[in-house]
Amino acid sequence: MMRLISCTSCDEYIGKKCRKNLDSCQPRYPDLACQTKEVYFHHYTGDYIYQYSVLGCPRRCAEYTRITPREKNVFFCCNTSHCNSLSVKDVVPLWIGSYSSCYPEPSCFCAGLLER
């Protein structure tokens, strides 16, 4: 028996717990993967500061990084449970959290496993 993955993004974290799940999608054939786009703002100090994540379920999932003068976009794929939930970067300055839709961390995660 095979169960499909359901990709879900978390819009608000309190500590390390997800409080709001507002976005989800079903992975599509042939890749059956969740794709996350993380957006980072290019700060005048030269650092990239995390802003928000966008969830997607494309037919073909590709992992790559796109850098422009103002921001950096990181695209990555997953197909396992909680493959990109909260990581070691737990602290983001409060002024960023005030306009970040996924505070404090990139927040797409795959809810479910492929089972046979």
Question: How confident is the model over 79-90, as pLDDT tens digits?
Answer: 754 444 544 333
Assigned domain for 39 exists? yes
pLDDT band at 76 (very low <50, low <70, confident <90, very high): confident
73 has pLDDT over 60: yes
Average pLDDT of the segment spanning 103-111:
39
- Residue 89's domain comprises 6-111
Assigned domain for 82 exists? yes
Q: What is the pLDDT of residue 21?
A: 67
> Is this structure's pTM higher than 0.85?
no
Host H or E run for residue 95: helix 94-97
Q: What is the pLDDT of residue 50?
A: 84
Assigned domain for 87 exists? yes
Structural domain count of the chain: 1
Q: Which among 111, 105, 110 has a CA at the least distance from the CA of 17?
A: 105
Assigned domain for 1 exists? no
Average pLDDT of the segment spanning 46-52:
88
Question: What is the rounded CA–CA span in Å between residue 70 and residue 7?
Answer: 29
Assigned domain for 41 exists? yes
